[in-house]
Amino acid sequence: MTAIPVAVLVSGGGTNLQALLEALRRSPVAQVARVIASRPDAGALERAQRAGVSTVVLAHPDDPAEVVTATGDARLVVLAGYMKRIPPAAVARLRWRLINIHPALLPAFGGPGMYGRRVHEAVLASGAMLSGATVHYVDEEYDRGPIIAQWPVPVRRDDTPDRLAARILEVEHRLLPQVVEALVRLGVPERPVRLVASGSAFVVAEQPSVRFGDEG
């Protein structure tokens, strides 16, 4: 079996990219084939180069054709700390093949302006006892696409935004590679799937069999 090519889009330091590179290095099912940055100074580019993965910096991240072309033959496209909006025409072309990781339990604490430290500040200000990481499909609205998998992280009484961020980031580094491997093993389904943790892996969640009124 040849490994499925995965593209990763980045804007920042790229610790999630690093986790993917390490987890998939010897994977028979998936490999990071290319890394695409929205800016030339993204630290993630260096990580990709060190791993021998080809890189490209987008000249116009808001040009859908350029974004789609950059993803090449990738069957799955992962946003890992990508700070630009994916133009709607590119979202449409990559439908159910484009996923993102967010450092909170969506749909809470997501949406425009909710990134980085701000997410964790908002969680602490709300008094929520639980935060975590979410991997979800990207659609035309920020952080609103169907959820694929989540990993909860309890909020501690003495948490600061930085401490909470650090614990969630550790979880992200485990969640993202597992979801990527699971989706690839499923053949990157053409319809949204929802995964749940089962032992040390993520598996497809059973659909709840709820019937309404006179249906069926």
Q: 203 forms bridges with which residues in the sheet? A: 196
Residue 81 makes contact with ligand GRF by CB under 6 A? yes
**Does 14 participate in binding ligand GRF (rule CB under 6 A)?**
yes
Distances in Å between the alpha carbon of 9 and those of 38, 55, 201? 8, 10, 24
Euclidean distance between CA atoms 32 and 144, whole angstroms = 25
| 150 near ligand GRF, judged by CB under 6 A | no
Q: Which two tokens stand for residue 32?
A: 């990071």
Q: Which helix (H) or strand (E) holds 68?
A: helix 64-71
Which range touches ligand GRF (CB under 6 A), out of 12-20, 29-37, 46-54, 183-191? 12-20
- With CB under 6 A as the rule, give the number of residues binding ligand GRF: 13
Determine, following the binding rule CB under 6 A, whether residue 72 of this chain makes contact with ligand GRF. Answer: no
Least distance (Å) between residue 100 CB and ligand GRF: 7
Q: How far apart are CA 137 and CA 143, in angstroms?
A: 8
Question: Which window, 64-72, 96-104, 142-150, 191-199, contacts ligand GRF (CB under 6 A)?
Answer: 96-104
Q: What is the DSSP string of 122-165?
A: HHHHHT-SEEEEEEEE--SSTT-SPEEEEEEEEPPTT--HHHHH
Write each residue from 154 to 193 as x if it is in contact with ligand GRF (CB under 6 A), else as -, in one continuous string.
Answer: ---------------x--x---------------------
Q: Is 98 one of the binding residues for ligand GRF (CB under 6 A)?
A: no
The reply to whether 103 sits near ligand GRF by the rule CB under 6 A is yes
Nearer to ligand GRF (CB atom), residue 13 or residue 161: 13
Is 101 a binder of ligand GRF (CB under 6 A)? yes
Q: Which is nearer to ligand GRF, 57 or 199 (CB)?
A: 57
Scored b (16 or more CB within 10 A) or e, 122-141 reads: bbbeeeeeebbbbbbbbbee
Helix, strand, or coil here: 19? helix
Contact 198, 182 (CB under 8 A): no
Q: How far is the CB of 108 from ligand GRF (least distance, A)?
A: 14
Q: Is 13 in the site for ligand GRF (CB under 6 A)?
A: yes
Rounded Cα distance between 75 and 55, Å, is 17
Least Cβ distance, residue 102 to ligand GRF (angstroms):
5
The contact set with ligand GRF (CB under 6 A) reads 12-17, 80-81, 101-103, 169, 172
